[in-house]
Homo-oligomer: A and B are copies of this chain.
Amino acid sequence: MKLCVIGLGLIGGSIAKECRSLGYEVVGVDENPMHQEKAIDFGLVDRIETIESALMMSDVFCIAIPVDAVEAVSLSLLDQIKWTQTIFDVGSTKANVCAAVKTHPKRSRFVAAHPLAGTEFSGPGAAILNLFRGKKNIVTDEDLSDEDALESVLTIFNDLGMQSLFMQSEAHDRHMAYVSHLSHVSAFTLSLTVLDIEQDQKQIFNLASTGFESTVRLAKSNPETWASIFDKNSSHLSDALDGYIRHLQHFKQVIESGDKVAAKELMQKANEIKRVLNGLKMNVVKLS
């Protein structure tokens, strides 16, 4: 299979690198000359092509660019591909791109995917092998894709070591607001809060421990990537933030009231997250 990866950052670069190590022929497209150069230096792709020449020779196109650019690039590619070619995207929001391509005559050549993997790093230098192995991939609105297109894309994710699950794009975005996007906002704002305080209290960071480190880790994430994701999922994320702020205000009231029993009960309930995280470890999949 000849794969063309458009966008050679953390996700696209890692897909390219892994597929190449599996024997795929992988060409890369990236408008950033530095990314092009690094992708070659790091051996992520066999070669860099223009989109025009990639269209002449690739079977499958993987779009791995910030989610606010995915719609236009997907539409433009759908305009140009043959019926034997397949496009998939790997963006973290799915409703926007699925809505954009919905009425395109070649919609059925498009597969909407979201591999649930990543790190807080970005760019071609962040691309690594085994980023996806053992993790889950979500495919949304799969009933709108041709069977052979879906199969090509599922084969790639299978080769990456991922288990693919199916759901509607709206449900995907709503769930992601809670289990991914909210975590990121929580970490970004925790960082902002603590940096604020640091201004006149330099030593505060000498006291930071591993607990703080883990909670704030996602605050190192790429602002460009996440500004687009938050924008594309702003309505669900706004609901999630309302819920989070409400819980924080309640927790604060309980602490201020000195009611230790109530505080303990809240934390006992919060402890139930162990069940979730254990499920995560066991890779339990029971999607309805």
The chain A residues found within 8 Å of chain B, CB to CB, are 68, 116-118, 120, 135-136, 138, 165, 167, 172, 174-176, 178-180, 182-198, 201-221, 223-224, 226-228, 230-231, 234, 237-238, 240-245, 247-249, 251-252, 255-256, 258, 260, 263-274, 276-277, 279-280, 284-288
Contact = CB atoms under 8 A, between A and B. Distances in A.
Given A135-B209, A179-B207, A231-B263, 4 more contacts: A179-B205, A191-B271, A228-B260, A241-B252
Contacts of A165: 206
Contacts of A272: 191, 195
A223 B165 CA distance: 35
A186 B190 contact: yes
B244 A190 contact: yes
A117 B207 CA distance: 11
A249 to B, nearest CB: 7
Given A209-B135, A234-B256, A247 B182 contact: no
Contacts of A274: 220
Q: DSSP class of A's interface residues: helix, strand, loop or mixed?
A: helix
Contacts of A227: 260, 263-264, 267
Contacts of A213: 277, 280
A213 to B, nearest CB: 6
Contacts of A186: 186, 190, 215, 248
Which 6 pairs between the two chains have the least Cβ-Cβ distance? Answer: A223-B267, A191-B273, A183-B215, A191-B270, A189-B247, A188-B270
A208 B181 CA distance: 11
A216 to B, nearest CB: 6
Contacts of A116: 207, 209
A192 B208 CA distance: 24
Given A224-B264, A249-B245, A255-B238, A194 B182 contact: yes
Contacts of A68: 260
